[in-house]
Amino acid sequence: MRKEGGGLIFLMISYDIAKKFSLPYLTDLYSKIQDKYPIFKSLIANDIPYDNKSSFSLYINHRDTFTGITDIDRSLTIKEFARIAQKVSNLDEKKAGEILGQKFRSPGHVPICISSKKLLSERFGHTELGVSLLKMAELYPVGCGCEIMGDNGKALSKEKAINYANKNNLVFLEGNEIIKVWKKWLK
């Protein structure tokens, strides 16, 4: 992902998992502390051109990492978060949060993005698309994503992304295709 994607490598998790760990959206944190730290009032992401709220939550590192930024460290953080999220699924929020705190620290180098509660009925970002695919595949809704960047510094064009998928024997899906299948899957 780092070498061929180039974009931010992030965890995407379902709203229910975030709730289990009592993970907040960063925008909610900023709103709650803006009286003490006024800079956060001006930094709130309320002008995103494609959405009305950022899905970003905390940034974490597994406690067994060194700097947290190496491929090995980020891989450990991502794999262990997924493992622990599944492991605590039957625990209450307090106990789940304690386990999260025992295994991870924040700030870190792996951002967590929380899907909207109603997934593709409320928001159509990478996080919701990824979590929806995981749910439809009957997999645990923790995934990892990264936008593929082009040499021009922008996101890879659709045509180049299709070529990349074909060259690497990958499936290319468009968001509207996932949304269409999701609506049928919900029925």
Instruction: Give the burial class of 168: count Cβ atoms within 10 A of its Cβ; 0-12 exposed, 13-18 middle, 19 or more buried.
Output: exposed
**Quick check: 144 and 135 in contact, CB under 8 A?**
no
pLDDT tier for residue 48 given thresholds of 50, 70 and 90: confident
Residue 162 has pLDDT above 90, yes or no: yes
> Do 81 and 88 meet the contact criterion of CB atoms below 8 Å apart?
no
pLDDT higher than 80, residue 52: no
Using one digit for the tens of pLDDT, what is the confidence trace for 97-128? 999 999 999 999 999 999 999 999 888 889 99
Above 80 in pLDDT, residue 53?
A: no
Q: CATH homologous superfamily for 10-186?
A: DHBP synthase (3.90.870.10)
What pLDDT shows up at residue 159?
A: 95
What's the whole-model pTM score? Answer: 0.93
CB atoms within 10 A of CB 11: 25
Domain boundaries, the chain: 10-186
pLDDT at 12: 97
